[in-house]
Structure 1
């Protein structure tokens, strides 16, 4: 009987302790699952626990942040080599650990110390963070991406390995977003170690289309004002057969020469430096002759025309990129009278 009474007393004490613990948890707002303030980002908060970037959750700032790329480096630091600057390109930023592409005006640099100074990782990071907070930036990510994520995305990045490239598995990346009333959405990421840093700034934007249809009037204007007109006439691969799109350009040349009946021109064919030089010169000559033949078939007197191929001998730009090679694969009309 005595043992039973003692057991009942112990159970009552244990139950009372449990109730007190539950009451403490309920009364402490830090332990409450209903707290919502952390879900409302502010310029000093981190928005890391979201699967996608909700730009609408980031406050819009009306702070005057200056002109692109918006801020200088801290005193004593400078870019290494030249900066990467393009009016429209793509850059990958970490959203919850996933490298996500954004397009717009892009600035990327590697950072080192000025002569006579020593590089400090903490100096660069704190300087940038304090300044970004002061102009209304919100930190979106602060951490590393995994090796698997790097392998997933890195071949999608056309600028991998270029100046200021960020997004490797062993880097700690700090990523900020500014929604500015005047400048729009701005994405900033940087990383640093004991030897140097890297910085990317992107002003979100879309392609402003500048391509227009080639017209006879434009060809006449170029020939009379500059003495030549540079055209891109499409041919079948490694052949001198003019494609449907190419024939539309040829038709504009015919109309231009009919409008200016006194014009005499030389048709020059040019290639990039891919492949055999002798073959390229032969192909460029065949393509120039194909254009000449198409013009005479369209009613242009053969005595007004000559054709010549130069292959890769006269590049417009360096043949060190696909973009450069594409510019060099061209037809030039040269005024000869």
Structure 2
């Protein structure tokens, strides 16, 4: 019995000794002084890369990436119907001059795969049917004929597929008519659209192609720079209008869905500044107006933002902001009916109203 007790005491002593030794080692490690040879390596975090904004529009299209073509392409619209097909009106009758729709200055919204590019200039749209009555539309033959021809004249395919629905929804919020007015076919469904760019020696041309088993549509635009024909009114002309009518109506252009001043508008702002600077007693209400494109709420806010842009530009030039007031009415007060592109342009305006 004494031997067992003795062995038990020895065992307890050994375990206690090991525990003390381990604790001592741990304490020694924690208190170990650093030496010059030791290097503390800090893990450096990689800088966060800012994600690019998902822009809806782009102002830039890199034509340098499109090879220059000198192939003979004939006259506008540079595309004849394939054999067995004809261009028709929306009512199904043969279209006059082979064009369903034509505009001396129109627009196609070209999708680049990332954003929409506004291609402006001479524009035409063609709806296609089969010449033989009762015959089903031959989508395969149409596609091979049209796409093959465009490739043969040097047109580059810049997009093929369906435009993401979130892009189309965002576009609809800005302009519900953009889909039907500026993009042929149904850009968002399973039948792919094809957008081409032709960098020709005679000019820059873009094509939109869409087809399904029931028909096809092609849009073409010959790019042309917009030439502003409205001259900026002088300060004295504004003064005459205000004295006669109590207000001056100005056609101030802004980019689509934006309130930033364009370069060609700065001259008008300069003339408003001269008007106010030379007539220190004059106080003006700057009132923004839009056409009926887009939602009422968006148009109202956009008109307010644009009026504020003009007001703060004048204040930045030194005009006492107490002499100014900004307000927006959206499409509530059109000058003319919003039934044509020309009339819509008249309704997109800024009015200087005497207070």
Question: What is the TM-score of this pair, normalised by structure 2?
Answer: 0.45
The alignment's TM-score, normalised by the length of structure 1, stands at 0.47
